[in-house]
Amino acid sequence: MLLFSILVALIGLALTAGGVYLLSLGGSLYYLLAGVVLLLNAWLGFKRHALARPLFALFLVITLIWSLWESGYDWWALAPRMGLFMLLAIPLLFSSVADRGGRKVLFLVWLVLGGY
């Protein structure tokens, strides 16, 4: 969980900084919000909090909605928007953090999005 949290924190920092810059140029708010959510998720992961999985599942669903809105059903356009985040979800599926159904929710979201 520690490695996951560090990786997610680094990606969150990059997305937050890039999102601020992109927003200053009149671009999408998504990257700033995604970075903040990933930083929150990294913090929850460091604390081994049960909300880490459901928050990441919600993040994946919102990212898919944004991706479809931006690029439609084109796999080549969806892969760079969803692929890394789908891979990041895998350690959460197998971590030993105790939760109340968060693993089931994340697994269901991962399966549905992976089959999409």
Q: Give mean pLDDT, residues 101-111.
A: 77
What residues does each domain of the chain span?
2-115
Task: State how far the Cα of 18 lies from the Cα of 15, in Å rounded to an integer.
Answer: 5
Residues sharing a CB contact under 8 Å with residue 116, sequence separation 6 or more, in sequence order: 64, 78
Residue 107 corresponds to which tokens in the numbers above?
């697994």
41 compared with 115, residue with greater pLDDT: 41
10 Å Cβ neighbour count for 53? 27
pLDDT at 39: 98
SS3 27: coil
Asked if residue 116 has pLDDT above 70, the reply is no
Under the banding of pLDDT at 50, 70 and 90, the label for residue 98 is: low
pLDDT in tens, 32-73: 999 999 999 999 989 988 888 889 889 988 998 898 898 888
Residue linked to tokens 């909090």: 49
